[in-house]
Amino acid sequence: MKIVLLGYMASGKSSIGKLLSKKLSMKFLDLDDYIIAQEKMAISKIFEEKGEVYFRVIEHKYLKEIIDKEEDFILALGGGTPCYGNNMQEVNTGNTVSIYLEGTTATMIERLIRKKSKRPLIASLGDDKIPEFVAKHLFERRSFYEQAKTKIKIDGKKKKEVAEELEKLLN
């Protein structure tokens, strides 16, 4: 089984993916980390030096490379990955279970304001600008996220609770 976690930044894809991989004794992969390892460059550096178009092209290439692997795994996508090329089509092929970690706009705003410094996309925004940024982004991306085969609400839940809920769902 291949499990692909998707959702907006700060929805817990990586943290929940790592917890779930322990519970299910499956390999965990983070697409951003995979790209960093392959390109030997930070994501922010790739954007800065080669541009977003280059990044989206290699992101698709590496996504396909991972999805095509024979092994079972849990994969955390980047927040924007589902929205480009035919990435969702790629994710939803074969025996892949795609899961949208769905948080309300309010939840995502609150989480992002708390962890702003770790998010290059919003680090330079004032806290007062984040609600509009997140609302607009979620509006643009939701239709892609909604293409996931399954969705799970994350509002008001600890990452451990979401991982346990997913474990029950997948067994």
Q: Domain 2-164: give its CATH architecture.
A: 3-Layer(aba) Sandwich (3.40)
**pLDDT at position 94:** 77
Instruction: Give the number of other Cβ atoms within 10 Å of residue 167's Cβ.
Output: 14
**pLDDT at position 96:** 93
| Span between the terminal Cα atoms of the chain, in Å | 11
**pLDDT at position 163:** 97
Residue 10 has pLDDT above 90, yes or no: yes
Q: How confident is the model at residue 52 (pLDDT cuts 50, 70, 90)?
A: confident
Q: Are strands 96-102 and 150-153 parallel, antiparallel or unpaired?
A: parallel
Dist. CA 107–CA 109, nearest whole Å: 6
**Would the CA dihedral through 134, 80, 12, 119 be positive or negative?**
negative
Structure-block tokens of residue 52: 């977003």
Residue 116 has pLDDT above 90, yes or no: no
Question: Are 163 and 22 in contact, with CB atoms under 8 Å apart?
Answer: no
**Of the candidates 94, 91, 74, which has an alpha carbon nearest to the alpha carbon of residue 148?**
91
Dist. CA 46–CA 37, nearest whole Å: 12
**pLDDT at position 19:** 97
Backbone angles phi, psi at 19, to 5 degrees: -60, -45
Provide, rounded to the nearest whole percent, the portion of the chain with pLDDT above 90: 83
- Cα angle 21, 24, 29 (rounded to 5 degrees) comes to 25
**pLDDT at position 115:** 83
* Least confident segment among 41-45, 118-122, 143-147: 118-122
**pLDDT at position 95:** 85
CA–chain centroid gap for 162, Å, is 15
* Mean pLDDT on 90-117: 92
Dist. CA 104–CA 108, nearest whole Å: 6
